[in-house]
Amino acid sequence: MIALGSDHGGFDLKERIKKYLDSRQLPYRDYGCDSKESCDYPVFGQAAAQAVASGECDKGIVICTTGIGISIAANKVKGIRCALCADSLSAEMCRRHNDANMLAMGAGIVGGSLAERIVEVFLQTEFEGGRHARRVQLISNMEL
């Protein structure tokens, strides 16, 4: 299950990603927002991140206009490693080396087709483990 969250600036791209996930029969849960009416990204970033951290969802995707604010909000939740990606190589490497469990994108930065490719790579790439597992554990040890 994939947790989705966005603010008003990311709403349209989130809706496109939902159609993309539907076309691949990938289950998701939408934690809001539900329209393009102005709202606060931390609320929806936190909701999606908590779903991932609790194990209710395996991975998460959050979207705001730049991806910056919502990624910061998601990363405040213990156990979350949310990577802001604007290209498919970053999406691959955040999974391969950092075991990122959430992806953030900026709807004002990334177009729809590229966003779909970023999501595809993020969801298909496995964590390498090995020396990277030690580094991810060091990051986890930093959490309060």
CATH number for 62: 3.40.1400.10
Q: Give the mean pLDDT of 8-32.
A: 98
Q: Is the peptide bond before 39 cis (omega within 30 degrees of 0)?
A: no
If DSSP states are collapsed to H, E and C, what string results for 66-115?
CCHHHHHHHHCCCCCCEEECCCHHHHHHHHHCCCCCEEEEECCCCCHHHH
pLDDT of residue 94: 98
Q: Give the mean pLDDT of 95-110.
A: 98
Tens digits of residue pLDDT in 33-86:
999 999 999 999 999 999 999 999 999 999 999 999 999 999 999 999 999 999
Task: Return the number of other C-beta atoms located less than 10 Å from residue 139's C-beta.
Answer: 11
Tens digits of residue pLDDT in 81-92:
999 999 999 999
Could you give the number of structural domains in the chain? 1
Mean pLDDT, the chain, whole residue set: 97
Q: What is the DSSP code (8-state) at residue 26?
A: -
> Burial letters for 76-88: b for 16+ Cβ neighbours within 10 Å, e otherwise?
ebeebbbbbbbeb
What domain range is 21 assigned to?
A: 2-141
- For helices 112-124 and 11-23, the axis angle rounded to 10 degrees is 50
Quick check: 130 pLDDT over 80?
yes
Quick check: 144 pLDDT over 90?
no
> Catalytic residue positions?
64, 97
pLDDT of residue 21: 98
pLDDT band of 31, cuts 50, 70, 90: very high
Quick check: 14 pLDDT over 90?
yes
